[in-house]
Structure 1
Amino acid sequence: MACRISELVIDSRDPERLAAFWCDVLGYAVLGRDEDGVEIGPAEGFGGLQPTIVFTPADRPKAGKLRLHIDVNPTDRDQEAELERLLAVGARPADVGQTGEETWHVLADPEGNEFCLLRRRLSG
């Protein structure tokens, strides 16, 4: 038997704002709120194949390049249409030294956490 990632925990200055952003990006819903933060996940709730994400309040989230980042894949549209959608919900382009030849886009969420939009590889 092996382990499975059940949740990711991300320190944030504004857990509500990041939860709303990532709900828009991933099609997730808020699953719970308490003094420890906001947890989001698939609408069907806990225990599915996709991990939930917990945004915990932190006065000083770690600055600089994180050792872990999220990659996302569009599931119901092409990459360019998804890029437009992500920019419209609050993502912004991030420069990490790309050459312009990459097949992915590097973006940042409202608190500057980098993530990549890959080409469509997954089905909904």
Structure 2
Amino acid sequence: MAARITELVLDCTDPERLAAFWAEVLGYDVLDRDDVSVEIGPPDRRTTLLFLRNPDRKLQKLRLHIDIRATDREQDEELARLLELGATRVDIGQGEDASWYTLADPEGNEFCLLSGRVEP
């Protein structure tokens, strides 16, 4: 028998704002919320993201990050959409010849937009 990841928990100062950003990025719905957290995920709830209020601000590069791929558009089109939603480009030493874009969400958490598409 093995274990399965059911939630990925992200500490943040503003759970509503960060959950709204990631819900739009991933096409997820808000599944639950309370005074200190917002949970988003797909309808099957197989793996969800939980944004948990924490007053501490991010101080350094994350040791674990999210990689995403577009489902219905080219990488450059998805990059434009993510930037419009509030992502910013960041340099963490990936180099100019990288096949991916390194971005940060509205609270500065790094994530990567990989090339190629995946099934929705």
Per the TM superposition, whether the score is higher than 0.5 is yes
- Percent of paired sites with the same residue: 57
Provide structure 2 residue ranges, at least 5 long, that are not aligned to the other structure.
none
* Structure 1 residue ranges, 4+ long, deviating more than 2 angstroms after superposition: none
1:15 is the counterpart of 2:11 = no
How far the C-alpha of 1:66 sits from its partner, in A, is: 1.3
What's the counterpart of residue 38 of structure 1?
38
**Structure 1 CA distance for aligned equivalents of residues 56 and 44 of structure 2:** 30
Q: TM-score if structure 1 supplies the norm length? A: 0.92
Q: Which structure shows the higher strand fraction?
A: 2
Q: Could you tell me how far 1:107 is from its partner in structure 2?
A: 0.2
TM-score (norm 2): 0.95
> Could you report, residue by residue, the CA deviation over 1:74-105 in whole angstroms, capped at 9, with x for unpaired residues?
01111011000000100010111232100000
Q: Is contact 2:73–2:117 with CA below 8 Å preserved after alignment?
A: no
- Does the 8 Å contact 1:31/1:45 carry over to 2? no
Number of the residue aligned with 1:26? 26
- Report how many residues are paired: 120
Q: 1:50-69 counterparts in 2 under 5 A? A: 51-69=47-65
What's the offset of the Cα at 1:28? 0.5
Pick one of 94, 99, 112 that aligns with 2:108.
Answer: 112
- Matched residue type, 1:64: Q
Q: 2:87 aligns with which of 79, 85, 91?
A: 91
Tell me the CA shift for residue 29 of structure 1: 0.8
